[in-house]
Structure 1
């Protein structure tokens, strides 16, 4: 588990430091600025600057006093408004946002970073300051895990820097882009931006910033499984962090060194580094740092088959995460304990923790529980624990039957409720306006579509799992271990297929995905590995103007299915070496282009296997059109056009 959370906290401090320098006549250290404020009786713009410096120093020092810093900055805000001093007001908002960011209040941090940006733009402050304010907004969006918006904001900052020739370029903008791409599982892209940020910070002699970037570079190399490079980056980061005496950053880096050593199968070497991180967490009384160190110590001991300290450390980690209410850590640590107990052959405890993890992830899905239990079965089948496996499978089957029965009952109630709604709509049709009736019809259509998808995607595979599970008992009795293994492998494969199908259905109905940007990202994630597997040079382009345009669930589903079908056809039949997918806005129209340089085909003789009829029907159903242009040896060009709002 990479310790990148703290890096983001430290990175925001670097952003603030970059864009909150004071005037030369105002002292910059905490002690000297306090003396200045006592002796400087005139409440002018310099007084505002001094208050901002004091507020920044109070929340950035080794033992931060966030409450006092907040009070000082509120005074600065009021005085800046009174003096109509835009620069001082924007800095006050920036430092207040930094406090909220560092105390795990990302939504408030985003609000105040946006206030700082709006103020900077309205007072027409320097381009460098405005670009830095944009990067601060991106940092808050990163904390909220809205990485597509982070990329858009940071690129906006870069474009402004190029437009106004801001020199030197702002290092934290490149670093923020690197972090966003890293979180989007694009470590190679992230490294490009991190290296640019590092070069700029070396010129500025920004040691703290260099430590943060080197740490992030190490995380990227870990993702690429280049552990020698990641260890070199981590050790350089640790040296820089020690030079500036930043202990929490040191704790972060020490954990990552321990993890890189673990991934290199140098388990015992990693223990002292993680223990040093734990000691810093205790000294700083930072429960998040302590929880991370405890959990990673537990994982190292698990690799060493030393289960007693592994169990103790992981339980301490889960306890601290629960105290903090950190849902992500709780989920990760619960899964870690389930895996640990599985390795200890304590299947009952493994089952308990696995079910707890499943409740946290998806309490509405029956299939996921079954798949995870089958994962445990597959993991330990080589230990020849036929009796334990048989008992576990029987428990899973019993639970599956109970949950499936409950789902059938729920579906029956749902269908009954839908019929009642339809009956009520028919009786009161003259009393309802047309828009409300249309919404009811859309809801009915949505429910039917979900039921149809669940039946098509899940029903037959569940039946297959049920039949195979019944066969395993008989195969065990016949002492046919190879047949048992094949059956269990088939069950695992079917369960994974169900998970993939459920993932697509859940993604489709999730209102958080109601934007064209999300659809584009989903298609890119689907297409990229397929293109790479066929050695196709692939370009995926998205118009930034589409970023915040909402779309309905039905349109989103149709767009995704059309794009997926077209990409599958391209992979299977085109024999192309180059392919392009582009989302663009043309006035109030969305245009989706999917193009390749493959062998093409005669459009006057459409083949059923290409699914053209189905794609055109989907396009027409959402009020759009689909144009397919192709000729033998001339490649294929598919253009989908539909209306968009906003």
Structure 2
């Protein structure tokens, strides 16, 4: 569920709760500007005025973050010069709030920590220190470190109880509620939200009330108590309108639409999300518009109105790309892949799934939909099955042709001329032998493809099917962490299927029946692996390779041996340099792979080098594989195969 800015003003609210009265300094934006122009002495009051100006510039209806940051830098420098702890802590806090609101959580955390350290070192009032702790927790929440959020907020609560801080700081309770909500523990979050809401009502903080009520609505959505969700969302919308907080209004309207959609009232949901879109357009806020388009698309998808669903999701993706929001781009691309998968448009589903996979960092595995991965694998497997069908048809035609030729030979035999009979018999035998050889090769190819598909794809698809069913069961049991591990496994298996099918297709393609094509394929495989380990890599081919005839079996064997050797080199060698050389000399193909790594003893059975596998493949090709290596002296692998 999309909800931006639900936490965004918590840091700012805490600043308000922790703010002390500014003696002799006005609080309105215009009056503070006049004060700064007329107050020529740069004293502690001047620092206070700068802090007020910086706060008002970044927290108003039309925030100017860049100018606010510049003003607060001046305040920070002057406060340090004057050794003014309160002014310095507030400058740090206000700068952190800017970074928080502009989605720079790590920078926000650093400055909130500076504010906390300054407050403690200068022994500022307990209320300020408690507010600073809650600010640190808010930044930790944006970084998804929810255990630390609870730890910091509880520390703040203990200090409030110890020093009897009155009234209690509402955002401390709200922060704990947010942490539990993000951990999908709504029952634990709700009591803290209710306490925060009571405190904000006392303060008449309508902006804070709208944020808390919105979050409570989300908790009731998790509990599938949609009547309660709608109740709190409508309260939140009323308070957001009173506070003239339009962007939060846009978020709440989207949440109302999503709740109606979840409660099977999808048609009623659309006008609310369209109102959110209108606010985004009025404010020219592309992020808000993208969120509205995305959720409209998902609602239309649930209504099975695929055309408007597609149009809205594409609009959302285009806006996300305009603002270069990585998470939104990834989510919206995945949504389009899901949509096309549901429409059985496998080609488009595959295209968007590949685009999403390219956007996803290989170290960080974010959401990957198991069903779409299954469809993608099915799409690729379907293409392979179509190729097998064509091969079968070709084999059948060959059999028909063979029967016709036998009939013709029988006709010639009736001629009665012994010489012609003998010549025809010899000719028929030669033709039959050639045809049978081609048929045998075709059947062998079909058998190899079937074997590869069974080994590489069949078992993995069965695994994906079982894991998908288990994942659904885990989600029904509300075990998202375990389900996420299953999804990661499904994603890995699906990627493995795609790679395996790609290799099978490449192997049977007659256009690859040349040694330079093998060399190019191996280079394309090796280069990124070498780059990932910072290995200086050179790939050398002899011009004579163009003259080398090569069969499908030799082509496949050479590639697999080379691939195994490259994998071993990258994983175990710790090399800084590596070379692969392809030569063709006197009817022999020679492949040399060497590195300057730590080497090993070839006689020692390490159980990990794959030498036996490479030796076996070399023998099957009628070739010879030699391995030369010694500890700290690199490794040299030489493969010789008859062309």
Tell me which interval the TM-score lies in, with the shorter structure as reference length. Answer: 0.5 to 0.7
What residue number does 1:165 align with?
164
What residue number does 1:70 align with?
69
Alignment RMSD (CA, Å): 3.3
What residue number does 2:138 align with?
139
Structure 2 residue runs without a partner (length 5+) = 388-453, 475-480, 490-643
Deviations 1:577-634 (A, max 9, x none): xxxxxxxxxxxxxxxxxxxxxxxxxxxxxxxxxxxxxxxxxxxxxxxxxxxxxxxxxx
What residue number does 1:319 align with?
318
Q: Deviation at 1:106?
A: 1.4
Instruction: Tell me how far apart the structure 2 counterparts of residues 59 and 495 of structure 1 sit (CA, whole Å).
Output: 45
Q: Deviation at 1:489?
A: 5.5
What residue number does 2:85 align with?
86
Question: 1:468·1:491 contact (CA, 8 Å) conserved in 2?
Answer: no
Mean CA deviation greater in 323-332 or 109-118? 323-332
Q: Deviation at 1:38?
A: 2.0
Q: Deviation at 1:127?
A: 0.6
What residue number does 2:575 align with?
none
What residue number does 2:182 align with?
183
Q: Deviation at 1:132?
A: 0.4
Instruction: Tell me how far apart the structure 2 counterparts of residues 396 and 136 of structure 1 sit (CA, whole Å).
Output: 57
- The number of residues matched between the two structures is 416
Question: 2:368·2:487 contact (CA, 8 Å) conserved in 1?
Answer: no
Instruction: Tell me how far apart the structure 1 counterparts of residues 50 and 83 of structure 2 sit (CA, whole Å).
Output: 16
Question: 2:471·2:483 contact (CA, 8 Å) conserved in 1?
Answer: no
What residue number does 2:444 align with?
none
Structure 2 CA distance for partners of 1:371 and 1:58, relative to 1, 3 Å: closer
Q: Deviation at 1:126?
A: 0.5
Max Rg structure = 2
Question: 2:471·2:487 contact (CA, 8 Å) conserved in 1?
Answer: no
Instruction: Tell me how far apart the structure 2 counterparts of residues 209 and 365 of structure 1 sit (CA, whole Å).
Output: 34
What residue number does 1:394 align with?
382
Deviations 1:212-267 (A, max 9, x none): 00000001111111111001101000100100111111111111111111111111
Q: Deviation at 1:10?
A: 2.5
Question: 1:58·1:68 contact (CA, 8 Å) conserved in 2?
Answer: yes
Q: Secondary structure in 2 aligned to 1:7?
A: coil
Q: Deviation at 1:352?
A: 2.2
Question: 2:374·2:464 contact (CA, 8 Å) conserved in 1?
Answer: no
Instruction: Tell me how far apart the structure 2 counterparts of residues 115 and 249 of structure 1 sit (CA, whole Å).
Output: 29
Mean CA deviation greater in 329-338 or 221-230? 329-338
Deviations 1:544-574 (A, max 9, x none): xxxxxxxxxxxxxxxxxxxxxxxxxxxxxxx
Question: 2:47·2:79 contact (CA, 8 Å) conserved in 1?
Answer: yes
Q: Secondary structure in 2 aligned to 1:69?
A: helix
Structure 2 CA distance for partners of 1:395 and 1:193, relative to 1, 3 Å: farther
1:286 paired to 2:278:
no
What residue number does 1:25 align with?
24
What residue number does 2:412 align with?
none
State how 1:360-509 maps to structure 2 within 5 Å: 360-361=359-360, 363=362, 372-373=371-372, 375-376=374-375, 393-395=381-383, 466-467=458-459, 490=466, 492-493=468-469, 503=485
Question: 1:132·1:170 contact (CA, 8 Å) conserved in 2?
Answer: yes
What residue number does 2:2 align with?
2
Structure 2 CA distance for partners of 1:375 and 1:500, relative to 1, 3 Å: farther
Q: Secondary structure in 1 aligned to 2:351?
A: helix
Instruction: Tell me how far apart the structure 2 counterparts of residues 314 and 502 of structure 1 sit (CA, whole Å).
Output: 25
Q: Deviation at 1:123?
A: 0.3
Instruction: Tell me how far apart the structure 2 counterparts of residues 178 and 134 of structure 1 sit (CA, whole Å).
Output: 15
Question: 2:260·2:269 contact (CA, 8 Å) conserved in 1?
Answer: yes
Instruction: Tell me how far apart the structure 2 counterparts of residues 158 and 491 of structure 1 sit (CA, whole Å).
Output: 44
Q: Secondary structure in 2 aligned to 1:9?
A: coil
Q: Deviation at 1:317?
A: 1.0
Instruction: Tell me how far apart the structure 1 counterparts of residues 198 and 157 of structure 2 sit (CA, whole Å).
Output: 16
Question: 2:338·2:369 contact (CA, 8 Å) conserved in 1?
Answer: no
Deviations 1:396-447 (A, max 9, x none): 9999xxxxxxxxxxxxxxxxxxxxxxxxxxxxxxxxxxxxxxxxxxxxxxxx
Instruction: Tell me how far apart the structure 1 counterparts of residues 464 and 37 of structure 2 sit (CA, whole Å).
Output: 76
Instruction: Tell me how far apart the structure 2 counterparts of residues 271 and 231 of structure 1 sit (CA, whole Å).
Output: 15
Instruction: Tell me how far apart the structure 2 counterparts of residues 99 and 360 of structure 1 sit (CA, whole Å).
Output: 28
Mean CA deviation greater in 67-76 or 235-244? 67-76
Structure 2 CA distance for partners of 1:347 and 1:177, relative to 1, 3 Å: same
Instruction: Tell me how far apart the structure 1 counterparts of residues 368 and 331 of structure 2 sit (CA, whole Å).
Output: 16
Instruction: Tell me how far apart the structure 2 counterparts of residues 495 and 168 of structure 1 sit (CA, whole Å).
Output: 46
Instruction: Tell me how far apart the structure 2 counterparts of residues 266 and 505 of structure 1 sit (CA, whole Å).
Output: 30
State how 1:118-133 maps to structure 2 within 5 Å: 118-133=117-132
What residue number does 2:347 align with?
348
TM-score by length of 1: 0.59
Question: 2:337·2:372 contact (CA, 8 Å) conserved in 1?
Answer: no
Instruction: Tell me how far apart the structure 2 counterparts of residues 133 and 502 of structure 1 sit (CA, whole Å).
Output: 34
Instruction: Tell me how far apart the structure 2 counterparts of residues 39 and 67 of structure 1 sit (CA, whole Å).
Output: 24
Question: 1:217·1:230 contact (CA, 8 Å) conserved in 2?
Answer: yes
Question: 1:301·1:309 contact (CA, 8 Å) conserved in 2?
Answer: yes
